Structure 1
């Protein structure tokens, strides 16, 4: 055709054919009254504004743009001469999106409206798309879709943390263009579906946000007797059976062995470190070795039911060793607590966790910047202690309730995960014409493109 001729010498029909994406390059099938065009042929990219220097304008740094599918941003007001100087310029109706990682893949983007005097400037890490003949909400949702994001990431260049998409990716990326009425119907359907998903997302987020509060409330009931009120009634005992005791009255605590390669003697044996002890469990993926004599191995042995409590790091964090006795010792940063007949390890473990999350355990720490729970401090910690039988019932109920709470938390997290996937799926279908909104009898989008090209040719 007339591809070799200058643009000003092309007829309107030739301009149109030059702008359309050839069928062989079209990414996928779309409705017959839609058409494909490259972004650079449809939009002004990073255009400039004309305005008096001292009129008010918006200024938007990257940190004022929210990530995700939300179209939320805020701005400062500056004189236009300051807002525009060395910055990206934009105006009401423009679509802007970040071009730098990780902001690009996090979907930091916005459809700009209600700017002071309709103009603004901002971070140079933005790409601006301007086209008054398009429904710019349609444009906003298009650049939010996963296919566009993944395509941009594939063109990243630069150092890690400062990678940018190729502007060729923007200019040559094909966009399916429906008739204007269909653009609005697609936007309405997307926003209607997203609103329902956002409602479900908020409920899931509320459940997550209240997880720690609910857990603390359950533990509070456990250690004030409320959780086992019915049990006491059935067994004919009252709260007077609960005794005010300290850890020193409930068992024997011992700190472990100092790691000193110059002084240590004996065989190499595995030993528990602070990092191996998590709340309620052990992480045995990285167990170190130290030298210890047979006498030390006996003295620092690890037996079923031993409660290991962190002395530093996160003081008070604890877990119960369950299983056969092991040829294993423990370092000085851990307390090994062996309970006596008055208490069970699980009751103490839950109690320390409750004291940790409600802040009362911190009163027993020493040190200003690095906190420690010394053996002396541990021995003084008070605990209202019921009978072993009631402790066993408390632990049983706590295991049951906290397991259910954890399951509810994981379900809420899964919902949040699924919602973003569903949104991505909706957008993918929207730009294929698969949301059930297209009217094939409407005038082809080719007529819209003729208007766009005619306006840009003036």
Structure 2
């Protein structure tokens, strides 16, 4: 008859829980310890089948609901599969595609039973600050561990494996230091979030500022001083339709393009922000099409079909490389003695033009369309050619400044995310200035944790 296994002493369990020095990711303060996550995880799996209680309301922590930082409040009949029972302050680690840093703490917003989807690894310990664990799991060192043992081929099919996650090391300071670290992180993050909110407002207002610049340009306000200085009358502007200033509105080729060929075939996705985007290109070697649809520098292309918010995008071709254009686009052959190409391009991307597109578009199953006839009926204000050139110069200059400001704003936003990562890295090395070396070692806390097993 085999002998019964002798229960491990607290000291033996302590040694089992501690991470050997050679396996520790980095040095931490002397009164901290490195422990295996599984040794301090007190969660005991318990399955819940909501379908068996169809009328009961649950507070469900699903992976999609994390985006709103609020669980689903949902009846059992609307939940399609078994879930895991969770408690307030449990920390949830997402198994799906661990490249995405998804860590959530159960908050208990209602009095309903708390459950979580099976895509979470659940961590529970009443002696360790839940927010400390949440931030720790978000830090760079731990995310690298999360990616070190995965199953699946990649993306949404990639899964972290719980059996390995339980072996990952975590730095454990005394409880009071955990709480100070959390307070310091949240204090610093709050300041960064406030700065980020202000910067995001600036970034989001770029479109509004661009629309305001174009409005001033096409109402004559932008060149009011120029007209006075050049003796040009305010009455010199006139209205003309696109049909009057263009000799033709020509649809592009209906033939299929390919991944290689002699000449680029511009498609709707290549029209971006008034210019041609030369990424994601298609090609053709069809000599007939090349001869018939070859673009000239200064040609203006109109996107006649797309989703309602994108139909009507217009860009100017500047001859960067030989190109023709696809059938979803229309080339505006404008009269150069009447209108400047850049002026026309800017106006067709203005708020006034977009309002017109929304009025005249026809809606299909998934896309809206504007035909050449409707484009031809659109009226635009035309000053003299010399004033058009001045308007284009001023718009170019103002938008260049706006783009520079936007780029600086985006760089500042990116730096905030980097600063947050840096704060987390320092926090779990004991480098936020919160550690008190005189405090008892976290070994005492660990003994207390292990004694409850």
Q: Does 1:351 align with 2:350?
A: no
Contact 2:17 / 2:39 at 8 angstroms: preserved in 1? yes
How big is the shift at 1:129? 0.9
SS at match of 2:150: coil
Contact 1:91 / 1:115 at 8 angstroms: preserved in 2? no
Q: For each residue in 1:412-443, what CA deviation from the matched residue of structure 2 results, as whole angstroms up to 9, or x when unmatched?
A: 22222222222112111111111121111111
CA distance in 2, matches of 1:129, 1:34: 20
Change in 2 beyond 3 A, CA 1:192/1:84: farther
CA root-mean-square deviation: 3.4
1:29 pairs with 4, 27, 30, which one? 27
Where does structure 2 lack aligned partners over 5 or more consecutive residues? none
Larger Rg: 1
Contact 2:264 / 2:282 at 8 angstroms: preserved in 1? no
Q: For each residue in 1:392-429, what CA deviation from the matched residue of structure 2 results, as whole angstroms up to 9, or x when unmatched?
A: 11111111111122222222222222222221121111
- What does residue 265 of structure 1 align with? none
- What does residue 196 of structure 1 align with? 191
Where does structure 1 differ by over 6 angstroms across 4 or more consecutive aligned residues?
53-56, 81-85
- What does residue 250 of structure 1 align with? 245
CA distance in 1, matches of 2:379, 2:25: 69
SS at match of 1:319: strand
SS at match of 1:45: coil
SS at match of 1:449: helix
CA distance in 1, matches of 2:323, 2:450: 78
- What does residue 174 of structure 2 align with? 179
Q: Does 1:434 align with 2:431?
A: yes
CA distance in 2, matches of 1:337, 1:352: 14
Q: Does 1:66 align with 2:63?
A: no
Map of 1:149-228 to 2, 5 A cutoff? 149-158=143-152, 160=154, 161-228=156-223
Question: Normalization by structure 1: what TM-score?
Answer: 0.83
2:402 pairs with 385, 402, 405, which one? 405
Contact 2:253 / 2:293 at 8 angstroms: preserved in 1? no
How big is the shift at 1:158? 2.9
How big is the shift at 1:241? 1.4
CA distance in 2, matches of 1:55, 1:376: 59
Q: Does 1:447 align with 2:444?
A: yes
How big is the shift at 1:182? 0.9
CA distance in 1, matches of 2:126, 2:199: 38
Contact 2:105 / 2:134 at 8 angstroms: preserved in 1? yes
CA distance in 1, matches of 2:263, 2:208: 38
- What does residue 18 of structure 1 align with? 16
Question: Normalization by structure 2: what TM-score?
Answer: 0.84
SS at match of 1:176: strand
Map of 1:316-355 to 2, 5 A cutoff? 316-322=312-318, 333-355=329-351
SS at match of 1:417: helix
